Amino acid sequence: MEDILEVEGKPSVEEISENAPQKKEETLEEMLSRHRKEISQLQNKEMALKKAAAKGSKAEQKAKKKQVEEEISHLSAKLKEKHEEELAFAGCSSTNRREKGDLDSLVKAVAGVSVTNRVDKSKPSKSVQRREKRAQQEAAREQRIQEEQRNIVSERATENEKLERKLEPLGLAINEIKPDGHCLYRAVEDQLALHTGGSSPYTYQQLREMTATYMRNHAPDFLPFFLSENMGDAQSNNTPAERFENYCREVESTAAWGGQLELGALTHCLRKHIMIFSGSFPDVEMGNEYKSEGGNGLSNSTIMLSYHRHAFGLGEHYNSVVPNSLE
């Protein structure tokens, strides 16, 4: 199973967690930028490992997926610790050296708590104080991001495990969709291609345009829900109708993430029953009027999606759900 942990063209475990390139004299801004890049590399590695694990028998795939989850969790924790240590050094003066393994002292230093006495007792200038304060605030912020990232990895693993247990008895599996803001429409496009046995009759962009057009033409059905979900825009000078129109423009011409409103429009545009599986929330059905029961309770033309609350550190995400024989 070791072969699934090596993916051509992707950074290795050591490259991500230990040997990331560092400049000899690295500013705090450069360090934070590198940290973000290393987190992104780890997310890309996770996707690559998942694709590599989706091969072999059902039992082999399950074992490989578990190994991937464990490996990513380990790498995430290791990367977090490495970043914390680097940030701690950046938050200390040149005379403040840490004892080996004294991570608590480093964390206090990042938070702006003195861990040793300064050799220079003179009061720093206001400009120096401001720079130090900004550095400490940025370092503390970076630590919070790292902690959130570690929590997301753990929550994602739990969510994926629950979803797998739900789909496996149905003979279903996840087909990963690119997380680029178009995931809902790309997932629907993938399902339509599955139904036709070839290519989808609509691209993800055409699905966006169809969704926006349907919402405009049936504004009374969507406007109350739109307003309830966008209470924060109530102070806008635009009328509710104008705000809704701006929202529809975003649906058809940007990478704005799609949700329940868009799913409601799609089910009527396509005249399809839509089933959304989730490991975090109860499953949702839409468009029951278009449902034609099959032997397993799902129609052959049902669009099956999975909703992920904790995906890739990016938040909400949709994937396509397919028969496990096609995974």
SS3 content of the chain, % helix, strand, coil (to 5): 60, 10, 30
Quote the Cα angle for 51-259-160, to 5°.
Answer: 35
Q: What is the dihedral of CA 209, 305, 177, 145, to 10 degrees?
A: 100
The 10 Å Cβ neighbour count of residue 265 is 25
* Inter-CA distances, 170 with 36, 164, 187, 202, Å: 39, 10, 19, 27
Q: Is 180 a catalytic residue?
A: yes
Q: Is 190 a catalytic residue?
A: no
The one-letter code for the residue type at 298 is L
Dig out the tokens for 217 from the structure: 């033409």
- Name residue 215's beta-bridge partners: none
CA–CA separation, 135 vs 112, rounded Å?
10
The one-letter code for the residue type at 103 is L
Catalytic residue among 102, 104, 180, 283: 180
CA–CA separation, 76 vs 79, rounded Å?
5
Catalytic residue among 92, 183, 248, 269: 183
Q: Is 92 a catalytic residue?
A: no
Which residue, 154, 182, 156, 148, is CA-closest to 256? 182
Q: What is the DSSP letter of 278?
A: E
Which residue, 161, 179, 159, is CA-closest to 310? 159
Quote the Cα angle for 90-95-99, to 5°.
Answer: 80
User: Which residues have a catalytic role annotated?
Assistant: 180, 183, 317
